[in-house]
Amino acid sequence: MGFTTFGLSEQIMKGIRAAGYTVPTPIQKLAIEPALAGNDVIGCAQTGTGKTAAFVLPMLQRLSAADATQGRERHPRALVLTPTRELCQQVQDAVAKYGRFLSIRSVSIYGGVSMENQLKLLRRGTDIVVATPGRLLDHMQRRTVDLSKIQVLVLDEADRMLDMGFINDVRKIIKEIPAKRQTFLFSATLSPEINSLAANILRDPHTVSAGERRNPVETIEQHFYSVPQEAKMDLLFHALDAEKMQSVLIFSRTKHGADKICKRLERANVNAVAIHSNRTQSQRERALDGFKQGKFRVLVATDIAARGIDVNGISHVINYDIPPFAEDYIHRIGRTGRAGATGDAITFVGRDEQQYLRRIEQYVGKKIPLKSYPGFTPSTSAPVVRHTGVHSATPLRGHSSHTPGANSNHRPAGHGHQRPDGKKRVPMTTPRRKKGPPGKMDSYSSDSSASSDSSWSNH
């Protein structure tokens, strides 16, 4: 089954072919047809499965079928809301890529940059607005954007928007757009909160789901290594050297930790760059562009980038700190093994992080083997944690010439129940999340039954 079976216009088909695509992904096969038929759609799929094209293509088809030449008086007819700047730019790029042969204009609106260029583009006239909720509300309050002609509304990564506390902003925005519209809601997970939101803003939606929601794609090989917290930097250098990694995404739980890891790598002549919410938009864009172009071998990130990074060819994802919540683990490692490519996900498990490993096991519904990294012996006298019921191979002497502790000030287990934006969350077994006092973790700016087929490494 190819894209030709959907009945898309020739101009859109030319854009698809120019982008190098010929066969739709499972979520695209399921979502595009009902969307083209005019239905509201709820789409649920793992990251890296082509969700963006699943709503961009039918949106372009609808807009291009109408009169798209409204000149200087044109008003936005489609609105896409995303949780982060990176995801906002990713959707904007997809619109430009697939709509390159159409007379459709689009503009991206997000915080962290001057409003002046955004104002100029809005005054010029646009058909599609891709925005983060906070910055869009700024424009709405200034009356610099008119949403009265919106025909298509898209909520992309809806679960992340709820996690980040944007639900009230989203509701305010929706109140200002026409009730008679087509609405798409795409999410990596469908929690009770998401279903409640969908019930209020969608009409008789067609719900589609591709793949097992609680498992990463099968092309990702997963490895979990036991290591004392103070020896993690030694193990990182050892792994980078032993596996000849070329395009590596490293996740740290905190901004401070990400900066320390990056500085240690740079000191060891490893081309690395860090990205998190304390970086300006231009710094983040330069970091991502440099990583995409191969100028940087390593990108160190916090969870702000877990759903906003769309880089082809990431060979390895390393969880320097295991995330406290299992769905964040799935989103992190989904940055590799994208579009059918293979990839490796490596997770370092410290003594105080076993509870997070158990959460992942519970979430995916299977036991995860925890082992020692081959050829590596920690340079500390602290014992290596053993996972109950799983025997680790006897480690051999390895590299440990670097000073340990790039992230040795990480929070103890008792403090791990905070989301990256500082709000309290309850354990993985319950989908509801409660607000709490702000913490010190990274703040975001403005991305079923278990399958037995996932590739969990045992060697």
In the chain, the domains with their CATH numbers are 3-210 (3.40.50.300), 220-413+448-456 (3.40.50.300)
3-class DSSP assignment, residue 418: strand
Lowest mean pLDDT among 10-14, 64-68, 107-111, 410-414: 410-414
- pLDDT category, 288, cuts 50, 70, 90? confident
166 or 419, which is more confident: 166
For 159-198, what is each residue's pLDDT tens digit?
A: 888 878 898 999 999 999 999 999 999 988 788 888 999 9
Q: How far apart are CA 296 and CA 161, in angstroms?
A: 30
* Angle between the N-to-C axes of helices 133-142 and 167-175, in degrees from 0 to 180, rounded to the nearest 10: 40
- pLDDT category, 305, cuts 50, 70, 90? low
313 or 146, which is more confident: 146
For 183, the token pair is 């609405």
Closest CA to 258 of 246, 276, 271, 270: 276
Closest CA to 298 of 251, 253, 342, 343: 251
Match 């790598």 to its residue by tokens: 265
394 or 29, which is more confident: 29
- Sheet containing strand 78-81, strands side by side: 106-109, 128-131, 78-81, 152-155, 182-187, 41-45, 206-210
By the 8 A CB rule, do 188 and 330 touch?
Answer: yes
245 or 416, which is more confident: 245
- pLDDT category, 405, cuts 50, 70, 90? very low
Closest CA to 184 of 162, 165, 166, 203: 203
Q: Is 142 exposed, middle or buried (0-12, 13-18, 19+ CB in 10 A)?
A: exposed
- pLDDT category, 30, cuts 50, 70, 90? very high
Q: Which residues contact 328 (CB under 8 A, 6 or more apart)?
A: 303, 306, 420
What pLDDT was estimated at residue 162? 85
Cα 184–chain centre separation: 18
- pLDDT category, 307, cuts 50, 70, 90? low
- pTM metric for this prediction: 0.62
Lowest mean pLDDT among 197-206, 334-343, 382-391: 382-391
For 303, the token pair is 């969870």
Mean pLDDT, residues 103-116: 92
DSSP state of 371: B
What pLDDT was estimated at residue 396? 31
Q: Which residues contact 185 (CB under 8 A, 6 or more apart)?
A: 40, 41, 42, 43, 154, 155, 158, 194, 197, 198, 201, 202, 205
Match 């008119």 to its residue by tokens: 146
Over the chain, what is the mean pLDDT? Answer: 81
- pLDDT category, 283, cuts 50, 70, 90? confident
Examine the pLDDT at 306 and tell me if it is beyond 60.
no
Closest CA to 440 of 404, 410, 406: 410
Single-letter amino acid, residue 275: I
By the 8 A CB rule, do 390 and 367 touch?
Answer: yes
Numbers of helices and strands, H then E, in the chain = 14, 14
What pLDDT was estimated at residue 246? 84
For 221-252, what is each residue's pLDDT tens digit?
A: 999 999 999 999 999 999 998 887 889 999 99
What pLDDT was estimated at residue 85? 87
Mean pLDDT, residues 332-355: 85
- pLDDT category, 455, cuts 50, 70, 90? very low
Q: What is the bridge-based pairing of β-strands 106-109 and 128-131?
A: parallel
Q: What is the bridge-based pairing of β-strands 316-319 and 343-349?
A: parallel
Q: How far apart are CA 90 and CA 78, in angstroms?
A: 16
Examine the pLDDT at 82 and tell me if it is beyond 50.
yes
What pLDDT was estimated at residue 179? 95
By the 8 A CB rule, do 270 and 240 touch?
Answer: yes
Q: How far apart are CA 146 and CA 139, in angstroms?
A: 9
Mean pLDDT, residues 349-376: 92
% of the chain exceeding 90 in pLDDT: 53
Q: How far apart are CA 205 and CA 184, in angstroms?
A: 9
Match 């082992």 to its residue by tokens: 371
Mean pLDDT, residues 410-422: 41
305 or 204, which is more confident: 204
% of the chain exceeding 70 in pLDDT: 77
